[in-house]
Chains A and B, each alone.
Chain A
Amino acid sequence: MNPIFKHGPSAQHRLVLVLFCSVLLIFFDHKMDSFDRVRGYLQSLVSPLQYLANAPKQAMIWAAENLVSRKTLMAENQQYKREELLFQQQKMQFIIIKQENDRLRSLLASPLRAEVKKMVVEILSVDSDPYTHQVVINRGANDSVYEGQPVLDDRGIVGQVLHAGTTTSRVILIADLTHAVPVRIRRNGIRLIVTGSGRIDRLIDNNVTHSTDVKVGDLLVTSGLGEKYPEGYPVAKVTHVVQDESRPFSLVFSQPVAQIDRLRYLLLLWPEQPASVFSSKPNMLPKVKSKVSPKKEVVNAGT
Chain B
Amino acid sequence: MLAHNGIMILFTLLLALMASIMPMPLSIDTFRPDWVLVVLMYWSLALPNRVNVITAGVMGFLLDVLLGSILGIHAASMALAVFIVADNYQKIRNFSLWQQALIIGVLAALYHLLVFWLQRFLTDAVFLPSYLYPVLTTVILWPWAFLLLRKVRRHFKIS
Contacts and interface: CB of A to CB of B under 8 A. Distances in A.
Given A18-B53, A43-B65, A26 B122 contact: yes
B66 A50 contact: yes
B123 A131 contact: yes
Contacts of B49: 1-2, 4-5
Contacts of A198: 125-126
A125 to B, nearest CB: 5
Contacts of A50: 21, 66
Interface in B49-103: 49, 52-54, 56-57, 60-62, 64-73, 75-76, 79-80, 83, 86-87
B18 A128 contact: no
A134 interface: yes
Contacts of B7: none
Contact of B71 (A19, A39, A134, A178): A39
A129 B14 contact: no
B26 interface: yes
A285 interface: no
Interface residues of B, number: 52
Interface stretch (A51-59, A95-103, A224-232, A269-277): A51-59
B60 to A, nearest CB: 8
A87 B130 CA distance: 43
A213 to B, nearest CB: 29
Contacts of B24: 128
A11 B87 contact: yes
Interface in B5-26: 14, 17-24, 26
Contacts of B52: 11, 14
Contacts of B23: 53-54, 57, 125-126
Secondary structure dominating the interface of A: helix
Contacts of B21: 49-50, 53, 125, 127-128
A134 B68 CA distance: 7
B131 interface: yes
A259 B32 CA distance: 23
A78 B71 CA distance: 49
Interface centre among A24, A50, A170 (most CB of B within 10 A): A50
A21 B76 CA distance: 8
B148 interface: no
Interface centre among B29, B48, B66, B68 (most CB of A within 10 A): B68
A26 B71 contact: yes
Given A15-B80, A18-B75, A128-B29, A56 B22 contact: yes
A15 B86 CA distance: 11
Contacts, number: 130
B72 A130 contact: no
Given A18-B53, A57-B22, A130-B30, A49 B66 contact: yes
B137 interface: no
A46 B65 contact: yes
B30 to A, nearest CB: 7
B110 interface: no
Given A18-B76, A21-B75, A25-B61, A132 B67 contact: yes
B149 interface: no
A178 B73 CA distance: 16
A17 interface: yes
Nearest to B121: A26
A150 to B, nearest CB: 18
A30 interface: yes
A177 interface: yes
A292 B18 CA distance: 46
A35 B79 CA distance: 23
A22 interface: yes
A46 B125 CA distance: 26
A18 B81 CA distance: 12
Nearest to B65: A42
Given A22-B72, A49-B18, A177 B65 contact: no
Closest 4 CB pairs of A and B: A25-B72, A18-B57, A22-B76, A22-B72
Interface of A: 1-2, 4-5, 11-12, 14-15, 17-19, 21-26, 28-30, 35, 39, 42-43, 45-46, 49-50, 52-54, 56-57, 125-132, 134, 136, 162-163, 170, 177-178, 198, 261
